[in-house]
């Protein structure tokens, strides 16, 4: 992910507003799969937080001590701050976790790493702010192996300030392993029905969309050994 600051990462205000709603079920599925049950003493990082919805959802499910979300979109961060509703949350316009001046017990990078070009640099930056024994969760759909990937890439880049990367799950795992992280991964399967909306979701067919959700989506858990 580039360090260039922008208004919003997605030049489609309607779609930008719809993303939080679209991601709700996925966020809750991720939360249900976490190993950590009690976050009450935890400081939490959300990398690529957009409008801040994930941290609000996480706090409802597993209250934590403090949460910071970072994103390169100034307007998105402004909206996140407006919506935090007195929760112990803070949002910052940056792509560098170290600029928060904080360290974290747990972090999340949800549906974002496909936009990060330099995985090794990202792993290094997370290592600098994650406390020993801490965990970093990443969700990733390995769409380069999906028949609809060229269309998905074209669709996203038609509106986005950022380019879609062609990472494999091996690329992600090795980048963090090289920094000393213990890497765990599982296939992330939806809990419930999948909303079908055709090409606007970046897929040429319902089959490709289902393959992406049931066979190509993963949840990583990267931890720094104590």
Give the separation between CA 97 and CA 107, rounded to whole angstroms. Answer: 10
Indicate the number of domains in the chain. Answer: 1
**Among 199, 43, 196, 181, which Cα is nearest to 120's?**
181
Q: Taking 60 as the threshold, does the pLDDT of residue 184 lie above it?
A: yes
Examine residue 148 and state whether it is found in any structural domain, yes or no.
no
Examine residue 113 and state whether it is found in any structural domain, yes or no.
yes
Examine residue 157 and state whether it is found in any structural domain, yes or no.
no
CB-based contact 223:135 (threshold 8 Å): yes
Residues comprising the chain, all counted: 226
Q: What is the mean pLDDT of the chain?
A: 91
The tens digit of pLDDT for each residue in 53-95 reads 999 999 999 999 999 999 999 999 999 999 999 999 999 999 9
The residue range of the domain holding 178 is 13-141+165-196+217-223
Tokens of 67: 């949460």
Examine residue 169 and state whether it is found in any structural domain, yes or no.
yes
Give the separation between CA 189 and CA 178, rounded to whole angstroms. Answer: 28
CB-based contact 189:158 (threshold 8 Å): no
| One-character DSSP codes across 12-38 | -HHHHHHHHHHHHHHHHHHHHH-S---
Task: Determine which helix (DSSP H) or strand (DSSP E) holds 126, and give its type and residue range.
Answer: helix 119-129
Give the separation between CA 129 and CA 168, rounded to whole angstroms. Answer: 25
CB-based contact 98:77 (threshold 8 Å): no
Task: Determine which helix (DSSP H) or strand (DSSP E) holds 169, and give its type and residue range.
Answer: helix 169-177
Cβ neighbour number for residue 140 with a 10 Å cutoff: 23
> Who has greater pLDDT, 202 or 149?
149
User: Residue 89 — φ and ψ, nearest 5°?
Assistant: -125, 150
Please state the pTM of the whole predicted model: 0.93
The tens digit of pLDDT for each residue in 117-147 reads 999 999 999 999 999 999 999 999 999 999 9
What pLDDT was estimated at residue 13? Answer: 59
CATH code: domain of residue 126: 3.40.50.150
Q: Cα-atom radius of gyration of the chain, to the nearest Å?
A: 17
Examine residue 190 and state whether it is found in any structural domain, yes or no.
yes
Examine residue 136 and state whether it is found in any structural domain, yes or no.
yes
Examine residue 77 and state whether it is found in any structural domain, yes or no.
yes
What pLDDT was estimated at residue 179? Answer: 97
Examine residue 152 and state whether it is found in any structural domain, yes or no.
no
pLDDT classification of 200: cutoffs 50, 70, 90: low
């Amino acid at each position: 992910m580039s360090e260039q600051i922008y208004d919003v990462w997605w030049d489609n205000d309607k779609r930008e507003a719809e993303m939080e709603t679209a991601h709700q079920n996925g966020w809750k599925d991720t939360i249900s799969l976490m190993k950590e049950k009690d976050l009450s003493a935890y400081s939490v990082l959300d990398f690529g937080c957009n409008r801040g919805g994930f941290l609000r959802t996480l706090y409802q499910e597993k209250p934590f001590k403090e949460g910071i979300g970072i994103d390169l979109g100034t307007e998105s961060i402004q909206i996140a701050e407006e919506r935090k509703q007195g929760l112990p949350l803070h949002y910052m316009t940056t792509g560098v976790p170290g600029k928060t001046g904080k360290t974290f017990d747990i972090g999340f990078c949800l549906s974002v790493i496909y936009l990060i070009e330099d995985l090794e640099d990202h792993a290094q930056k997370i290592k600098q702010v994650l406390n020993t024994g801490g965990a970093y969760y990443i969700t990733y759909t390995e769409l380069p192996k999906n028949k609809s990937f060229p269309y998905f890439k074209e669709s996203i880049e038609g509106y986005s300030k950022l380019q879609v990367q062609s990472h494999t799950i091996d690329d992600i795992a090795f980048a963090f392993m090289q920094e000393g992280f213990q890497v765990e991964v599982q296939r992330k399967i939806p809990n419930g029905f999948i909303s079908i909306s055709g090409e606007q979701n970046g897929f040429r067919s319902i089959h490709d969309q289902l393959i992406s959700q049931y066979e190509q989506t993963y949840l990583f858990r990267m931890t720094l050994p104590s």
